[in-house]
Amino acid sequence: MSKRLFPAILALLFLLAAFVPPAFSAEENGTLTLENAINMALKHNSDIKVQELNLDVTDEKLDDLRDSIDHIPAANVYVPEISSVWSGYLSAENSARIAKKALDNMKQQMAVDVMEQYYNILSSKRDVTLAETDLRAAQIKLAQARLKKQIGMITQAELLGVETAMQSAVASLTAAQNTLDQSYTQLAVMIGMSGSARPELVDEAVLEKANFISLEAVTASALSRNYTVWAAERTAALAERVEMYADNYDLGLLNTDIKEIQASDAREQLKEQVKILYQSLQTLEETNATLEQKAATLEETLRVTKLMHEVGMATALQELEAEQSYNEALDELRQLVYEYDLAKSQLMVLTGEDILTENTI
Helix (H, G, I), strand (E, B) or coil at 144: helix
Mean pLDDT over each residue of the chain, to the nearest integer: 83
Give the separation between CA 114 and CA 116, rounded to whole angstroms. Answer: 5
Residue 7 has pLDDT above 50, yes or no: no
pLDDT of residue 260: 78
Cα separations (Å) of 265 from 33, 105, 203, 233, 259? 39, 19, 39, 11, 10
**pLDDT greater than 90 at residue 58:** no
Query: Directed axis angle between helix 249-310 and helix 227-242, to 10°?
Result: 180
Rounded Cα distance between 131 and 58, Å, is 54
Ramachandran class of 70: left when φ > 0, alpha when ψ lies in -120 to 50, beta otherwise:
alpha
**Distance separating alpha carbons of residues 23 and 59, to the nearest angstrom:** 41
Which residue type does 226 have? Answer: N
Phi-psi sector, 31: left (phi>0), alpha (psi -120 to 50), beta: beta
Most confident of 67-76, 162-171, 263-272: 162-171
Q: How confident is the model at residue 29 (pLDDT cuts 50, 70, 90)?
A: low
Band of pLDDT at residue 301, cut at 50, 70 and 90: very high
User: Which residues contact residue 45 at a Cβ distance below 8 angstroms, ignoring those fewer than 6 apart?
Assistant: 106, 110, 190
Q: Where are the alpha helices (DSSP H) in 192-248?
A: 215-225, 227-242
CA-closest candidate to residue 40, choices 193, 255, 232: 193
Residue 13 pLDDT grade (very low, low, confident, very high; cuts 50, 70, 90): very low
Query: Taking 80 as the threshold, does the pLDDT of residue 66 lie above it?
Result: no
33 or 241, greater pLDDT: 33
pLDDT tens digit string along 324-352? 999 999 999 999 999 999 999 999 999 88
In the chain, what percentage of residues exceed pLDDT 70?
A: 78
Q: How confident is the model at residue 17 (pLDDT cuts 50, 70, 90)?
A: very low
Global pTM reads 0.80
Q: Which sign does the torsion angle of CA 337, 128, 165, 153 carry? A: negative
Q: What is the pLDDT of residues 208-263, one digit of tens each?
A: 998 888 999 999 998 888 888 878 877 777 666 555 555 444 444 545 666 777 78
